[in-house]
Amino acid sequence: MKIAINTLEGKEAGSLDLNQDIFGLEPRADLLQRCVRWQLAKRQAGTHDVKNRSEIARTGKKLYKQKGTGGARHGAARANLFRGGGRSFGPTPRSHEIGLPKKVRALALRHALSAKAKDGALIIVDQASTGEAKTKALKLSFGKLGLTSALIIDGAEVNENFALAARNIPHIDVLPIQGINVYDIMRREKLVLTRAAVDALEARFK
């Protein structure tokens, strides 16, 4: 699968043969959904909490005698029945993480890359770097490439000036190759890979 390589100025800088096993698969929506669900569940804080009756700061003394009052039988005022009492079966801190096999995660990433390639939303650039950390100049470059919502993946190290210039542009994310993931790929319209990122991906899935 041959694809053109562009510069940040929007000019052609040759072409590249993409690996069919990574970028040429028929995308499966079920795999992508499973991986996105796994990612979102894993990052939930799970810190929600309420006080049960044992945590309420209120006396445990019996309210009134058991019989003879003409009222219902009650014990401590901390019971969930009373205003200010403990909550029954409320949420407690826990992990929302679900399991997903490593091979399924790797396959889902390949399908996400293939989905972008199939939709024509994959752009290859020779390098993602700038001499100065100027957001305005970088925004003009993105305009030439037609990038309004994009995930940009570089090699092992992201150019510092490029990252600083891009971080103030809405709907633009910049990540090193180690941070590539299905959710971020799918939430942006375009996927931009550098030559270094393509080489790293091919080495990873060799």
Consecutive 10-residue runs of the chain (206 residues): their mean pLDDT? 87 88 95 97 95 92 94 94 93 96 97 95 92 92 92 94 94 96 96 95 92
Is the Cα torsion angle 102, 104, 110, 116 positive or negative in sign? negative
Q: Read off the pTM.
A: 0.83
Range 2-43+99-205: architecture per CATH = 3-Layer(aba) Sandwich (3.40)
Q: What is the dihedral of CA 122, 167, 161, 182, to 10 degrees?
A: -40
pLDDT of residue 170: 95
pLDDT of residue 11: 83
Distance CA 79, CA 160 (A): 58
pLDDT tens digits, one per residue of 48-100: 999 999 999 998 899 999 999 999 999 999 999 999 999 999 999 999 999 99
Residue owning tokens 């401590």: 76
pLDDT of residue 13: 82
Residues contacting 82, CB < 8 A, separation 6+:
none
Domain ranges of the chain: 2-43+99-205, 45-95
